Structure 1
């Protein structure tokens, strides 16, 4: 039931955290949350779970002595356009700092990418001719390039679909994929995919993430003031505990896409790649902002510091 709610400074909850204490719009009313264990016999499978530093540290890929760029994972980035070359640059930035052994870029923003990141392997021949990759990221700043989105979705490797790619990806094509798919919409994009108003998604994030994952047969990372990661197979939805409102800035999602794509290429499952990327990205946002305005490129630059913070 909706209505007037108390804006609390402190909320004491018993036994376990409740979904409303972890997910907006209710979370912002809870203030600091203190959990009191009263010995309840709780169900084995929770509805929600939140990773902590120790959980993320166990999942972060670390190269070994025998590692080469292919063992570490090569991620392909199909992003950007003549109108939005910056989306490609930011996605590549996230990917390079996400632990990938190499990043292959395909698209019309190759000059901008290679100028900023000369270590990137750039091609203008399309995804099929880009070379070997272990995962793809498609969509950021891609405009109406449906052909490239379709070509990437046909690849038999994990694929992250973001931004314009979400609009261009057909639900039937995504459901038919054998390899994992990770979709990363914000509330507006999720609303468009579900055919509902944005307010409905923002007022029921948990239900929206689950519905979208089930409809597309994919893992869904629903971005926003509360970032959720839901798997099409059900189970606990992961709620991200890191982040800052300063991350609400253009290009931040492109960095997240590249970061998550690198983790997919490193061999993490779609759920783990999305959860770990959201955690590190949120922490990088906190570190970069430190209470002041921040740009997406600053967030990308802070990813190594956040990585070290988790492992430290």
Structure 2
């Protein structure tokens, strides 16, 4: 049937779900019908929100059929909207100063990858915390771009007080710094090289919240499976990672999934992004942004979800249908923030 439709180039409308996709997991086994429009009933099914099945749904329209109280009390998935994000965003008050608003530490970059540090700091400066501390070998590059950054050369333990840490972007093989950050009694976001260097037992043993932000390849390495397995079963993979590491996990991709520590409860789905975000350094901006939200007081699930939402919107605004660089995404975060709050 799918082959016939493709040859005929017909407009395809799917009823409730495209044929061939798994309604509950978003997985696609074998061939499936690719729809231009899916009209679904009562509530959105996971397959309409989670890739790879989401790519087969086209535009989705929900029709209320009066299910009301028959829907599950606790949904399997959640998708935040503007109003939800606006309610979570930190806002300074009359008594606020840069320390009361939260200070985020960024341990990132290396001699080979100084740009990762610059981009993570760029995201952090636009993420709601009052100040950003940077430790690492890219201090000169960071200060040249962002002179408001508080730079230290003495390592995380001696950088000064922070309310959260981001560790890993462009870190190379600096396992000692990753271990030092993981030992801190504040929320920690682990990204990029930090995911490879972090000791699994150290992550599981942390008392403070931990937010891990892998893409599919990094998630596959953490799980010991092929990348294709993660991409084909994204919902199961993010839950398995959250359960295995006892950490909140943000699985990056065409739809970003955020599972709370332990892998139980609703998984949050974010689809605000654009394919133009698949560019070098984009994830570094996201790590800084979400880390800043952690420092401003959001829990790991909310910081990851809100960070992904704003990052996706910023990517759309920066790209506007054309190629975009990671620095452009960072500069568009304030516009996304204002749009959400209007």
TM-score if structure 2 supplies the norm length? 0.90
RMSD between superposed Cα atoms in Å: 0.7
Superposed counterparts of 1:95-110, under 5 Å: 95-110=124-139
Q: 1:217 & 1:43 partners in 2: Cα distance?
A: 26
Aligned residue for 1:70, secondary structure, equals coil
- For the residue of structure 1 that corresponds to 2:109, the secondary structure is coil
Q: Distance in 2 between matches of 1:232 and 1:56?
A: 20
Residue 132 (structure 1) aligns with: 161
Question: Are 2:318 and 1:291 aligned?
Answer: no
Check whether the contact 1:135–1:261 (CA below 8 A) recurs between aligned residues.
yes
CA distance in structure 1 between the aligned counterparts of 2:260 and 2:243, rounded to whole angstroms: 8
Distance between the aligned counterparts of 2:200 and 2:175, measured in 1?
Answer: 14
Q: 2:62 aligned to 35, 44, 63, which one?
A: 35
CA distance in 2, matches of 1:2, 1:222: 21
Given that residues 213 and 250 in structure 2 are in contact (C-alpha distance below 8 angstroms), is that contact kept between their aligned partners in structure 1?
A: yes
Aligned ranges for residues 110-259 of structure 1 at < 5 Å?
110-233=139-262, 234-259=264-289
Which structure would you say has the larger Rg? Answer: 2
Superposed structure 1 runs of 4+ greater than 2 Å apart: none
1:241 Cα offset (Å): 2.5
How far, CA to CA, are the matches of 1:4 and 1:214 in structure 2?
Answer: 31
Match of 1:303 in 2: 333
- Cα distance in 1 between the residues matched to 2:30 and 2:168: 39
State the match for 2:40 in structure 1: 13
Q: How far apart, in 1, do the equivalents of 2:135 and 2:258 lie?
A: 27
3-state DSSP class of the match of 1:281?
helix
| Greater CA drift, 5-14 or 190-199 | 5-14
CA contact under 8 A between 1:184 and 1:222: conserved in structure 2?
A: yes
Gaps of 5+ in 1: none
Give structure 2 stretches of 5+ with no counterpart: 1-27
Q: Which residue pairs with 1:282 in the alignment?
A: 312
Q: 2:302 aligns with which of 251, 272, 277?
A: 272
Shift of 1:118: 0.2
In structure 1, what is the Cα distance between the partners aligned to 2:79 and 2:199?
31
- CA-to-aligned-CA distance 1:19-63 (integer Å, 9 cap, x gap): 111011111110010111112211100000100000000000010
Deviation track 1:250-297 (CA, whole Å, cap 9, x = no partner) reads: 000000000000000000000000000000000000000000000000
CA contact (8 A) 1:180 1:218 kept: yes
TM-score by length of 1: 0.99
Q: Distance in 1 between matches of 2:87 and 2:274?
A: 24
